[in-house]
Each structure stands twice: as structure tokens, then as C-alpha cells.
């Protein structure tokens, strides 16, 4: 039976497409139900805490949506902080290796790199 269902796939898609183009409501609802995520989609360009607060105050976001977005932002911030911390540790380790290699030229070049070329 599964093989028969798979074989009907291309025909079913073509008929669904025809129904959508003909304006059949059931077909449009079917496509939207399967194409969109189960929750409401919310788009922000570059979301900040102030944006979330404003959207919540204006009623554009529910309390649970605001909470979910804030939680996601906090986790992203944690990941970014951890990555920056890891990069800083790598620079310190590399600097110590250069500093201890006995060559002042390498250490001086590395100090310039750490200072941003200043």
C-alpha cells in the first residue's frame, strides 16, 4: 500500500497545485497547514530586549511568545560569550607560547596583534 501511495505523489501534487490555482479554499488551507510552522511566525530584523518589550506592550506578542524569544536570545548571548571567552583563552595561550620562545621579535609582533596593530 505504501508503494501505491508513493506512486500517487506526483499526481496528487499536480492536482493540489491545480486546485490552489483555481482558488479552492481546501487546497490553499492544505498547503498552508503543511508549509507553515505549527506556531505563529514572528519576524524581527535585529531583535533587542526593547523590541520584545515594545511588541509585548503593543499586543503584537503574547506573554509566552515574548518569554520564548527572550529565552532564545539569552541562550544565544551565552553561546556568543562562551565563544568569545574561548577565543580570548586561545590568544592568551598563544601569547604565552610566543613570550616563552625566547625571541623578542615574535613576542613584539604578537603584542601588536593583541593590541589591534596599534
Residue keyed to cell 613570550: 99
The predicted structure's pLDDT at residue 5: 80
- Annotate 80-98 with DSSP letters as a single string: HHHHHHHHHHHHHHHHHHH
Cβ count near 98 (within 10 Å): 20
Query: What separation in angstroms does the CA of 34 have from each of 10, 18, 22, 42?
Result: 17, 17, 19, 18
Residue 70 near residue 54 (C-beta atoms within 8 A) = no
Q: pLDDT tens, position by position, for the chain (118 residues)?
A: 788 888 888 998 999 999 999 999 999 999 888 887 777 777 778 788 888 888 889 998 889 888 888 888 889 888 888 777 777 666 655 555 555 555 556 666 666 666 665 5
Domain residue spans of the chain: 1-36
Amino acid at each position: 500500500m505504501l508503494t501505491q501511495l508513493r506512486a500517487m505523489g506526483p499526481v496528487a501534487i499536480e492536482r493540489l497545485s491545480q486546485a490552489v490555482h483555481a482558488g479552492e479554499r481546501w487546497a490553499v488551507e492544505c498547503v498552508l497547514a503543511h508549509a507553515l510552522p505549527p506556531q505563529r511566525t514572528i519576524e524581527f530584523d535585529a531583535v533587542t530586549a526593547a523590541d520584545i518589550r515594545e511588541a509585548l506592550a503593543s499586543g503584537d506578542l503574547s506573554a509566552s511568545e515574548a518569554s520564548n524569544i527572550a529565552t532564545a536570545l539569552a541562550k544565544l548571548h551565552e553561546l556568543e560569550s562562551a565563544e568569545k571567552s574561548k577565543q580570548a583563552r586561545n590568544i592568551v595561550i598563544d601569547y604565552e607560547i610566543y613570550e616563552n620562545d625566547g625571541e623578542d621579535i615574535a613576542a613584539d609582533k604578537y603584542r601588536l596583534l593583541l593590541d589591534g596593530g596599534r
